Structure 1
Amino acid sequence: MIAPLPPDPQRQPTWFVALFALAAAGGAVAFVPLLTVLLPQRIADLQGGEDVAVLAQVTFFGAVVASLANIAAGMVSDRTGTRRGWILAGLALSSVLLLAAGEARSAGELVLLVMAWQVGLNLMLAPLMAWAGDCFPDSQKGMLGGALALSPALGALAGSLVTYGGLVALEARLWLVAMLVAALVLPAVICGGGRTRPELMRPRPSVRPGALIPSDEAVRRMWLARFLVQVAEGGMFAFLLFWLRSLAPGFSENTAANIFSLVLVCAVPLSLLLGRWSDRHARPILPLAGCALLCSTGMLVMATAGTLAMAIAGYVIFAIAAAIFLSLHASQTLRVLPAPEHRGRDLGLFNLTNTLPAMVMPWLTVLLVPGFGYSALFVLFALLSLASAGLLASFARPVGSPAT
């Protein structure tokens, strides 16, 4: 049993941690079902069959717009000094554009609508994550990161829900997604008034008492460490089914989806435990370094797998470690940002670690897989994850006193 944390008047109540985690999960519910299932289906309906070129356009231009919109939305929320109003505006705009995308009458119109939808979505997400930095003290960032593991899990479950059998009619699926997002986001925004902590709004010196390295160096290392793991995670997300079928022809896509969902669900309690442990022992970076090392280990198991069982075991190790890493990293990033007045903008720059890998990873795959097979790709991903662990291990020592 983990001992309770010492009292801290700056800490948020558990109910608000839970509501914020659900709001963040609303972002995943907004885009995971659309980009992985509903959008490809809509393209097929418009084009009379699968059209990889159109899907590639939507994915690429959507990632570019998302990158720019996230930075811009963060800057706007910084400049106005308010977050909740922009979150609501983004929720409304993204919901309207999501429904409009379902009514697109041509591939070109669909591409434009998805790009506009990315603007609305990031108008909601950028202030939301900046708001976390305004509200949650360092002593609670591990718990917050653990709770953020709900996002990919609920995103995957939402994708399964809206496409399950005949449960939801085709024309109602986007409506259901919009309603789910609103139901997840609104409670935190409505009940979150007065949750900003004044001391979290004061600029931090470049070297704080108890800090291990200058903040600007910590920011660079945290950014690069996440980027390296995201390249590996994005590669596995895109090519998991193809790789499994290279080992076992005819491997069911439903089984692959079930493995993916199970991994994300299992990561939630483990993230919560590790996050709370990091708060209790003031070791915010150590779990990140350990998870990056496990990512590398899982990739090496996959690269050398001779049986389907061993391959799946390696993937489970990698995927759980990556899910924990990404959720805890999202909250611990808030610890190293030195300027609260630019928090939204800076988090937008960190969001590039989510979008740039989508542009890098396909080229790595094209260069390596045809000539050297998936094993070479996995070895490369293992090296990237190992480099991430090295970047983080250099400042993974305790910070200050426990739970400070």
Structure 2
Amino acid sequence: MADPAGAATPQRQSRRFLVLYALAVAGGAIAYVPLLTILLPVRVETLAGADSVRWLAILAFGGATVASLANILFGWLSDRTRNRRGWIVAGLVLSSVLLVMLAVPRDLPALVGLLLAWQVALNMMLGPLSAWAGDAVPDAQKGTLGGLLAFAPALGGLSGALVTIPGLASADNRLVLVAGLVVACVAPVLLFGNPARFPELMRPAPRTVTGSARRMLVARMWLARLLVQVAEAALFAYLYLWLRSIAPGITDSTTARIFGLVLLVSVPAALLTGRWADRHDRPIVPLGLAAGLAAIALAIMAAAPGLAMALAGYALFGLGASVFLSLHSAQTLRVLPRPQSRGRDLGLFNLTNTVPSLIMPGLTLALVPVFGFAGLFVLLAGLAGLASLLLLTARN
């Protein structure tokens, strides 16, 4: 159904849908960022005490595994049923209920079981939600969509700061507050999005396009995202410890402000870059350049003699990685050739978000004790540089 306000044209989706869809994706980030980075560790520490690190590792590994499988499953089911909205609604309701119920368990096995069930329900929403953009957003607007998606990590981080404001809510009520924020972000696109229909987006690409060149481009994009995500996951986990190794007086609040500022600056950069990609029909080039910027930044961080250069390098890395990841999410929809399996295929691409969490600890433990963080960053710079090379030399 076309937008009644007439915002959509036969070639362009309405701005209303793009904005509401990006808000819904931000709701997905709000669902897991404050829980996994703040609320869950606090809960585990209360129940496990000195054994918290081991239980958090179990939760992280189990959660990543279940989330990956559930994302593929529900993406595939939304392909088969041709009903994205129904799965999104079911996942939104079920995940919100389970999120609030995470306050109930009084022992760790029960908490693990409930968290894994929540991961399944959350990906019941996220898998079909990702595929819906492929059904509704033409290629000429995918760069703009990617820019809008940069709001998701920024709002995810901001929600963590919001729900933990002292005196705002008790530990249990913080979960209720997060669930309310998620519903408030996701429900509008379901109720008021009304996307225009584009039948051509539901037709498979011609065989001449789906040959070896297209498969090679898909493989390059998958591998490039995996390489950048490994670097991003390492920085996410060890930023604070690295900065403390350079400037022991730096605090966790300072680190959080730096992280938040980088995310905020990346939003307009991603929007401008995405619009440029749409205007010039060059979807892959900005991805290669953003990965290259991340590689240069990691090299600067490896060589940083003091805090000023370290922060400058991290700011560049955060900018490059954020632009890359937000635009890559949208441009992936362009290169997947089979609408009939779009949800499943996006689930397979989603492995690039979860596999790095399994790879990164081993790299860190192997390199940092011997070569320090500089050695780790040199390796990560090489990975990001390889990602840049893969994309800049790709045929598209």
Q: If the length of structure 2 is used for normalisation, what is the TM-score?
A: 0.96
After superposing the two structures, state which structure 1 stretch, 34-43 or 189-198, moved more: 189-198
Displacement of 1:91 in angstroms is 0.4
Find the counterpart in structure 2 of residue 160 from structure 1: 161
Structure 1: state its 5+ residue gaps: 1-6, 400-404
Across the aligned residues of Structure 1 and Structure 2, the Cα RMSD in angstroms comes to: 1.5
Q: 1:194 to 1:245 in 2, by over 3 A?
A: closer
Matches of 2:327 and 2:212, distance apart in 1: 20
Find the counterpart in structure 2 of residue 215 from structure 1: 214
Displacement of 1:46 in angstroms is 1.3
Q: 1:194 to 1:244 in 2, by over 3 A?
A: closer
Displacement of 1:49 in angstroms is 5.2
Alignment partner of 1:52: what SS? helix
Displacement of 1:278 in angstroms is 0.4
Identity of aligned residues (%): 56
Matched, 1:390 2:389: yes
Matched, 1:132 2:142: no
Find the counterpart in structure 1 of residue 203 from structure 2: 202
Alignment partner of 1:214: what SS? helix
Find the counterpart in structure 2 of residue 81 from structure 1: 82
1:100 maps to a residue whose letter is M
Displacement of 1:170 in angstroms is 2.0
Matches of 1:216 and 1:365, distance apart in 2: 32
Displacement of 1:8 in angstroms is 5.3
Find the counterpart in structure 2 of residue 362 from structure 1: 361
Residue pair 1:88, 1:124 contacting (<8 A) in 2 also: yes
Find the counterpart in structure 1 of residue 108 from structure 2: 107
Displacement of 1:13 in angstroms is 1.2
1:209-231 CA distance string (max 9 Å, x none):
xx997211111000000000000
Structure 2: state its 5+ residue gaps: 1-7
1:42-69 CA distance string (max 9 Å, x none):
0111124561000000000000000000
Q: 1:332 to 1:194 in 2, by over 3 A?
A: closer
Counterparts of 1:1-400 in structure 2, within 5 Å, are 9-48=10-49, 51-193=52-194, 195-208=196-209, 214-395=213-394
Residue pair 1:221, 1:391 contacting (<8 A) in 2 also: yes
Matches of 2:80 and 2:11, distance apart in 1: 24
Residue pair 2:26, 2:152 contacting (<8 A) in 1 also: yes
Find the counterpart in structure 1 of residue 4 from structure 2: none
Matches of 1:340 and 1:233, distance apart in 2: 30
Q: If the length of structure 1 is used for normalisation, what is the TM-score?
A: 0.94
Matches of 1:13 and 1:213, distance apart in 2: 34
Matches of 2:259 and 2:241, distance apart in 1: 14
Matches of 2:249 and 2:120, distance apart in 1: 39
Matches of 1:194 and 1:272, distance apart in 2: 21
Residue pair 2:14, 2:196 contacting (<8 A) in 1 also: no
1:270 maps to a residue whose letter is A
2:167 maps to a residue whose letter is G
Displacement of 1:80 in angstroms is 0.1
Alignment partner of 2:350: what SS? helix
1:187-213 CA distance string (max 9 Å, x none):
0011234534211000112433xx997
1:326 maps to a residue whose letter is L
